[in-house]
Amino acid sequence: MFLLILASPLCVQAEGRGLRELLGLAPVEAPFLRADEAFTVSVQRLSDGGVQAQWTIAPGYYLYRDQIEASLDGRDLVAADQALIPPGELKNDPEFGQTQVFHDELIVRLRPPLEGARLVLGYQGCADGGVCYPPMIQTFDLETLPVIEASSIDLDASNKVRDGWTKWRDDPARLAHLLEIGGWQTNLLIFYGLGLLLAFTPCNLPMIPIISALVAGTPGKRSASRAFMLSLAYVLSVSVAYAAAGMLTALLGANVQASFQNPWVLWGFAGLFALLALAMFGLYEVQMPSFIQSRIDSWVRRVRGGTLAGTMAMGLLSALIIGPCVAAPLAGALIYIGQSGDVWLGGATLFSLSLGMGTPLLLVGTSAGVLVPRAGPWMVYVQHLFGLMLLAVSLWILNRVLAPSYSLILWGVWLIVIGVWLGALNPAKTPARRIGQGLALGIVVYGAFVMAGGVSGGDRFWMPLSHLRGHAGASVQVPFKPIKTVADLREELDGARQRGQAVMLDFYADWCVDCVIMERTTFTDPRVVQALQPVLTLQADVTANDDEDRALMAHLEVIGPPTLLFFDASGEERRNYRVVGLLQADPFLRHLEEAWVESETQ
């Protein structure tokens, strides 16, 4: 088929010709563009020693990804992994079948060192209307090309527009590529935006009740300025800790946040939140020691009782304890730091990422300080509400160290307490109070169901009694085979290679919220289970974070869970298709299809 394409300059489909066309009465169609008009390519040298090749693709035309070639004085840059070609769009092409293509624009970065002067670029494309062009070749003399600053590359007008925010957010390899070719201003802005998206993920939502309780649940005079200062202190301390932990992770090769998932640390932190909750109920007063308070009074005159220092300490601990799951933007920055050694740019992007994650917290905290009633009996209810929220955070942390059924029992008790606090047992004399009492009774009843589910061995909060339906109602799930060590992985890959079987490896941990969500949603979706039937599905449970877990993650250069790795039938990892972070069923299926299609075409 490929030879047929080469035999003719243009292969035009001639389907649907009717009598009007044969008689010359059909409307005259615009001619197809010449190859040099449909695809124009320009090349520029970069100040860091690299080269940027940019294709401008006319509307209605596309380039094939697997036909992009680049050589320098005869040396194949694609084979040498010096040509950074981004993933394309999947297209069911009539000539080549499922393949990846580019529309509108393509930017390829050629990484230094580039030794030579004669650059040869090869490419091939087609028109949506059915015209396919023969392979094209252009030659450039690098010594005659102008040099531009690497930071001046306009990424907003390049491939990231085509891929969209979601693909950049979910792919650490692309994010590491972005850091490598982009300017620092662009990187900081993009990672701030990615942080805003991550702010609403399950791993970060527990920080909302923490900052709300710290700002609005503390006795004393409240104002917008004080609430803003406390919120800013919390967000900045979280950002500093997040950036520092990320930089240490990249340099030391170990997930610093995962090191804090020790059961003793988690029990201690859960106990700390429980004590803070009891203070909200008025059982005792929490104050900073006087010798610390006197030292900070000079620069926190408007913040009473040393609360600013306590808020900053809570922010530092929250960054290390609350959100240990690894997301793609974090992994991308860590990959860049580890490969380039540019700790400062990597740290700055991590700080910008965490600032984006903290922006909603800043708004929530400031609003809590302004909107919450300032005095009167309402203040007692407000403090009790934040106390219950802090108890929920404590239980959320204990989920990582307790058996699921025990956690379910505690959540049931918490729901019953919430219902009673809302007035489930109080007399209701007005219609509005009766409605409120009905809702409160509903919470109490559901709490009882949750407790019953935990006592009977259940583990699902939203379906606490589903396990009692027996095998007839049991949901399907991906059958993961556990592995622990590098030797286990090699043994499984060798066996799969002999069988000609692809492999997927899932890194999981009980303390990783996103891992648990994927376990209960993505990997129980019947479509996902069916799609993975031909695949050997392995799982590395790194909950213990022991020496063997760390050795396996270091061997595969995995930052932390949740991470999915894909290996083709030859045992080679499809590195560009790693998944870091939460992925629901629909995007997972699309990603799986792209990974296998790419594997089959190479």
- The tens digit of pLDDT for each residue in 128-183 reads 876 778 888 999 988 888 777 654 444 333 343 334 334 444 455 555 555 555 56
Task: Report whether pLDDT(286) > 60.
Answer: no
Confirm if 554 and 507 have CB atoms less than 8 A apart. Answer: no
2-152 shares its CATH topology with 481-600? no
Of 52-56, 175-179, 514-518, which gets the smallest average pLDDT?
175-179
Q: What is the structure's pLDDT at 149?
A: 67
Mean pLDDT of the chain: 73
Percent of the chain surpassing pLDDT 90: 11
Q: What is the structure's pLDDT at 258?
A: 56
When pLDDT is averaged across residues 579-597 and rounded to a whole number, the result is: 81
Task: Report whether pLDDT(250) > 80.
Answer: no
Question: Nearest to residue 346, comparing CAs of 234, 563, 197, 178?
Answer: 178
Burial tier of 463 (Cβ tally within 10 Å: 0-12, 13-18, 19+):
middle
Q: What is the structure's pLDDT at 537?
A: 95
Q: What is the structure's pLDDT at 453?
A: 87
**Which one is predicted more confidently, 389 or 53?**
53
Q: What is the pLDDT of residues 548-559, one digit of tens each?
A: 988 898 899 887
Residue 492 — very low, low, confident or very high, per pLDDT cuts 50/70/90? very high
> Does domain 481-600 correspond to CATH entry 3.90.950.10?
no
Q: How far, in Å, CA of 334 to CA of 173, rounded?
A: 10
C-alpha distance from residue 215 to each of 186, 368, 396 (Å): 33, 7, 21
Q: What is the structure's pLDDT at 558?
A: 83
Three-state SS annotation for 507-547: EECCCCHHHHHHHHCHHHCHHHHHHCCCCEEEEEECCCCCH
Domain limits of the chain? 2-152, 164-401, 402-473, 481-600
Q: What is the structure's pLDDT at 255?
A: 52
Phi, psi at 334, each rounded to 5°: -70, -40
Q: How far, in Å, CA of 226 to CA of 475, rounded?
A: 51
> Which residue(s) pair with 39 in the sheet?
57
Q: How far, in Å, CA of 21 to CA of 28, rounded?
A: 9
**Which one is predicted more confidently, 310 or 425?**
425
Q: What is the structure's pLDDT at 32?
A: 74
Burial tier of 204 (Cβ tally within 10 Å: 0-12, 13-18, 19+):
buried
When pLDDT is averaged across residues 11-33 and rounded to a whole number, the result is: 42
Provide CB contacts within 8 A for 306, sequence distance 6+. Answer: 287, 288, 292, 293, 296, 300
Q: What is the structure's pLDDT at 41?
A: 92
Most confident of 354-363, 371-380, 470-479: 354-363
**Residue found under tokens 């060192």:** 113
Task: Report whether pLDDT(338) > 70.
Answer: no
Task: Report whether pLDDT(39) > 80.
Answer: yes
When pLDDT is averaged across residues 242-251 and rounded to a whole number, the result is: 68
> Which residue(s) pair with 140 in the sheet?
119
Q: What is the structure's pLDDT at 284?
A: 52
Task: Report whether pLDDT(532) > 80.
Answer: yes
Q: What is the pLDDT of residues 398-419, one digit of tens each?
A: 877 787 788 889 999 999 998 8
Q: What is the structure's pLDDT at 296?
A: 39
Residue 56 — very low, low, confident or very high, per pLDDT cuts 50/70/90? very high
Residue 57 — very low, low, confident or very high, per pLDDT cuts 50/70/90? very high
Q: How far, in Å, CA of 303 to CA of 319, rounded?
A: 23
Question: Nearest to residue 230, comparing CAs of 307, 318, 320, 287?
Answer: 307
Most confident of 69-83, 249-263, 281-295: 69-83
Q: What is the structure's pLDDT at 374?
A: 52
Q: What is the largest CA-CA distance in the chain?
A: 100
Task: Report whether pLDDT(506) > 90.
Answer: yes
Q: How many CB atoms lie within 10 A of CB 129?
A: 12
Q: What is the structure's pLDDT at 26?
A: 39
What is the 3-state composition of the chain as percent helix, strand, coil, each rounded to the nearest 5?
Answer: 55, 15, 30
DSSP 90-110: EEEETTTEEEEEE-SEEEEEE
Q: What is the structure's pLDDT at 348?
A: 79
Task: Report whether pLDDT(344) > 70.
Answer: yes
Helix (H, G, I), strand (E, B) or coil at 123: strand
Q: How far, in Å, CA of 131 to CA of 486, rounded?
A: 50
Q: Computed from CA positions of residues 546, 552, 558, 562, in that sequence, does the dihedral angle turn out positive or negative?
A: negative
Q: What is the structure's pLDDT at 27?
A: 39
Q: What is the structure's pLDDT at 299?
A: 37
Q: What is the structure's pLDDT at 93?
A: 63
Cis peptide before 113 (omega within 30 of 0): yes
Cis peptide before 562 (omega within 30 of 0): yes
Question: Nearest to residue 214, comparing CAs of 194, 198, 197, 238?
Answer: 238
pTM of the model: 0.49
Task: Report whether pLDDT(9) > 50.
Answer: no
Q: Which fold has domain 2-152?
A: Immunoglobulin-like (2.60.40)
Q: What is the structure's pLDDT at 25?
A: 35
Residue 332 — very low, low, confident or very high, per pLDDT cuts 50/70/90? low
Q: What is the pLDDT of residues 198-234, one digit of tens each?
A: 776 666 666 666 766 666 555 555 567 777 887 788 8
Q: What is the pLDDT of residues 446-486, one digit of tens each?
A: 999 989 988 888 777 777 887 676 544 445 789 999 999 99
Q: Which two tokens stand for residue 313?
A: 């300490």
Q: What is the structure's pLDDT at 22?
A: 33
When pLDDT is averaged across residues 119-128 and rounded to a whole number, the result is: 88
